[in-house]
Amino acid sequence: MTFDEFDFHSDIRKGVKIAGFREPSPIQEMAIPIIEAGKDMVGQAHTGTGKTAAFGLPMLHKIANGEIERALVITPTRELATQVSDELYHLGRFAGIRTLTVYGGVGYGRQIALIHKGVQIVVATPGRLKDLYKKGKIDIFNPEIVVLDEADEMLDMGFLEEIKEIFEYIPQNRQTLLFSATMPEPIKELADDILYNPEFISVVKKDEATTNNIIDQRYYVIHEHERDDAIVKLLETENTDKCIVFCRMKREVDRLSEHLSAMGFNAKGLHGDMEQYERDAMIKGYRRGEIKIMVATDVASRGLDVKNVSHVFNYHIPFDPQSYVHRIGRTGRAGKSGQAITLVSTEEFRELQRIQKEVGADMRLATITNNTNSIDNSSIEYLANMIRNTEIHSDVDRLLHHLQGMDHQLFLKKIASMIMNEQDYSSENQIGLNQEKVDEIMDSYIHQKRGAKGNNRRKKR
């Protein structure tokens, strides 16, 4: 099937051609006829499968044809709102269709003014949109099509109540479309509340409903003090294109991104305390490939759709199983394989097992063993700085006198080798505990637990 078979408005077909679309993806092939027919719809699909065009093209076609005047798309984050708005603008620009992105962190005035001037499509985040409706600032904006994009992400970010309130301001005679990668019970209940007799479509296989089966998932059991060394070693040894390193807290993002930059990596941080212009510049640079390593919190990365992310690293194990699913979902998109690597301390290992069980993740234990004769880049830089900063010994001239006639390059290599041989790099030879050691630790943990229970019973008696 080709896009020509959909018989879109000529100006929309032109946008499709310029965008380079030829054959529709599975979600587009299934969704477009349903949306064109005016039916409500629930679509289950991962990010990166072509969802924006799936709902955007029939929506743009209806506006270009004069069938509807306005449409609303609700997304969980500013970054995704900007991304969706840009794509809709480029697909509909030849039809003169105007789009507006509405989100918090900037002034209300311009957003309200443009809505009153008659933009046809608004792409908004829940918080700002709810505020505008609640304060009566955009009563004139009555969309005939409403799209909830990444509904499960909005649930995870705590936007469910805002979504329900927004729909109290929107006319009942509308077409409603809901897209979500997963279908937890609250999303099913929301669909029952806001959709009328919807069609259900899915391009998510049963074995992909939790964690994507084309993602190779590994974990390294480390001691807490090894965490920085481990992430540096992994970044040096993995063949990464673009990658994301997830941290739990904003201060970890700042510290780790600075540490990696100091080690010579092309790394930048992303978290919620950054100014909007900083976030926009960082994401734009990352998309273009000017930044290779994004160090981010979970919230900062929600809804982020970036192509060719080869690796996701969990610097710390996430707080809950669903966060793990969302984190690793940043890689392995649009049919491509990806790598998801988690660092877990011996104290966190039980938590990792819980995540494995709850999301059905096929994770394997791994280690990194170095050649004992090799020294990593960070140690080389440390030695180089040590040599640069060493004070000249008072008897060095007497030593050099005894070495007269030796080749200059050979002399430097021998002196450097003496220094390197004297350093202890034994702790660098392996990152991660092997299965035998992990089993020993877990056996010890189980015995301690049983002993503690026995002591408690004796105390009760």
pLDDT tens, residue by residue, 377-420: 656 776 787 788 888 888 888 888 888 888 888 888 888 888 77
- Tokens 């450097």 sit on residue: 416
Q: State what percent of residues in the chain have pLDDT above 90.
A: 38
CA distance 122 to 102: 7
State the pLDDT confidence band at 374, using cuts at 50, 70 and 90: low
Total residues belonging to the chain: 461
Return the minimum-mean-pLDDT range out of 46-50, 247-251, 337-341, 351-355: 46-50
- 163-220: pLDDT as tens digits: 999 999 998 899 999 999 888 888 899 999 999 999 999 987 654 444 445 788 999 9
- 279-314: pLDDT as tens digits: 888 888 898 889 999 999 876 656 566 778 899 999
Enter the pTM of the model: 0.57
Confidence check: pLDDT of 1 > 90: no
DSSP class per residue in 101-153: EE-SSS-HHHHHHHHHHT-SEEEE-HHHHHHHHHTTS-TT---SEEEE-SHHH
Give rounded-to-5 percent helix, strand, coil for the chain: 50, 15, 35
The DSSP symbol for 440 reads H
Q: What are phi and psi of 291, to 5 degrees?
A: -115, 130
Exposed, middle or buried by CB within 10 Å (0-12, 13-18, 19+), for 394? exposed
Sorted by sequence, the CB contacts under 8 Å of residue 295 that are 6+ apart come out as 244, 245, 247, 253, 256, 257, 260, 267, 268, 269, 270, 315
CA distance 221 to 386: 31
CA distance 381 to 32: 56
Sorted by sequence, the CB contacts under 8 Å of residue 155 that are 6+ apart come out as 184, 186, 187
